[in-house]
Amino acid sequence: MIKAGIIGASGYAGNETLRLLLSHPNCEVVAVGGRSALGQKVSDLYPSYYEHCDLTFVSDEEVIEKADIIFAGLPSGLSEKYAKMCDEQGKKFVDLGADFRLHNEEDYKEWYKGEYKDKDLHQKQVYGLPELHRDAIKQASIIGNPGCYPTSVCLGLYPLLSHHLNASDHIIINSASGTTGAGKKLTEDTHFTKTNESFHPYKAGNHRHTPEIEQELSLMADKKVTVTFVPHLLPVNRGIVSTIYVKVDKDLDEIYKIYKETYQNERFVHVLPLGKNADLKFVTYTNDCHISLHMDERDHTLIIASTIDNMIKGTAGQAIQNMNLMYGLPEETGLQMVGPSF
């Protein structure tokens, strides 16, 4: 039985990881940390755990002491010291935040205003998108769990860029996320009265996920890829829809065939039949990604719609998918949820 601990379990990402791990047949959650809730029971903070989980929030150090694998749901800049502790003790570490996603420290300095204090530690990090880096994840001890927006975008573009079917190196991405993507801390934009019946872009052209997206797309394409990335805030709790626009030099039927072949053995990525539209409703509370393909025949622009649950495939579910790979378990273990029908 895998002994798991969660640092930052009082926040949305850590809490969702706890919720999913409680149903995992090969894992036991042995400790949870949450500085804002230290000494409280999980069920005091989240009543849904009443008589399901009686764990009490303990110190982060105690979480690491008790567990074999640690999930950290922390703001950027806070995970490195815990990853180092785990590394020194021979324990596995999955960072749900941004500290181990970017290969280039200069990108981290520019977009997150921090630095890598232990550069050798970052040589061990693996970007945890299983559909792209499965073999490396199996051997990894430190995982940088992908951001939710980059997950939807990378899965949406992987078949296209890896087969060099794009006629332009510049890609336009409009993504819309539910409010849980902003985290638990309340801001002016996430007040109910601001988000209710609202839909608007934010951080247009300067969102922190931009370098992560460009990093992975460039690896797929074997050349530098740039994007115009515009995120939007949806008045829903969870879910992401990324609509991606790129010029292509192949017809839709040929591209569709390549997408189907690329993902035919992937448990969590589903390319919908032509004429169907990816819809976040049907991937919520699952680890699935739905992709639909469309073509503007007037200028041969491919339109890709990629949708995920930002809290599961975009965060906690993907982290558990990575854990399964790290421990040699079937990838879908504990993640075989079917989305709602209505």
Which pLDDT tens digit goes with each residue over 83-124? Answer: 999 999 999 999 999 999 999 999 999 999 999 999 999 999
Q: What is the mean pLDDT of residues 268-293?
A: 98
So what's the pLDDT on residue 185? Answer: 67
Whether 2-123 and 149-310 share one fold: the answer is: no
So what's the pLDDT on residue 118? Answer: 94
Cβ–Cβ under 8 Å, residues 99 and 79: yes
Confidence band for 218, pLDDT divided at 50, 70 and 90: very high
Of 18, 64, 74, whose CA–CA distance to 41 is shortest? 18
User: Which residues fall within 8 angstroms of residue 190, CB to CB, at 6 or more apart?
Assistant: 179, 182, 233
pTM more than 0.85: yes
Q: Which residues are catalytic?
A: 148
Q: Cα separation of 339 and 79, whole Å?
A: 32
User: Which residues fall within 8 angstroms of residue 234, CB to CB, at 6 or more apart?
Assistant: 176, 177, 178, 179, 199, 241
Confidence band for 184, pLDDT divided at 50, 70 and 90: low
Q: What is the mean pLDDT of residues 160-173?
A: 91
For helices 148-162 and 210-221, give the axis angle rounded to 10 degrees.
20
So what's the pLDDT on residue 141? Answer: 97
Q: Cα separation of 93 and 309, whole Å?
A: 23
Better-scored residue on pLDDT, 198 or 85: 85
Element (H, E) at 201: strand 200-201
Owner of token pair 């399901």: 52
Coil, strand or helix at 170: strand
Given a cut of 90, whether residue 166 has pLDDT beyond it is no
Q: What is the mean pLDDT of residues 192-213?
A: 87
The CATH number for 149-310, chosen from 3.30.360.10, 3.40.50.1580, 3.40.430.10, 3.20.20.70, is 3.30.360.10
Which pLDDT tens digit goes with each residue over 225-261? Answer: 999 999 999 999 999 999 999 999 899 999 999 999 9
Domain positions in the chain: 2-123, 149-310
Which pLDDT tens digit goes with each residue over 69-79? Answer: 999 999 999 99
What are 318's two structure tokens?
């993907």
Confidence band for 186, pLDDT divided at 50, 70 and 90: low
CATH architecture of residue range(s) 2-123: 3-Layer(aba) Sandwich (3.40)
Q: What is the mean pLDDT of residues 279-308?
A: 97
Confidence band for 198, pLDDT divided at 50, 70 and 90: confident
User: What is the residue-averaged pLDDT of the chain?
Assistant: 94
Confidence band for 169, pLDDT divided at 50, 70 and 90: confident
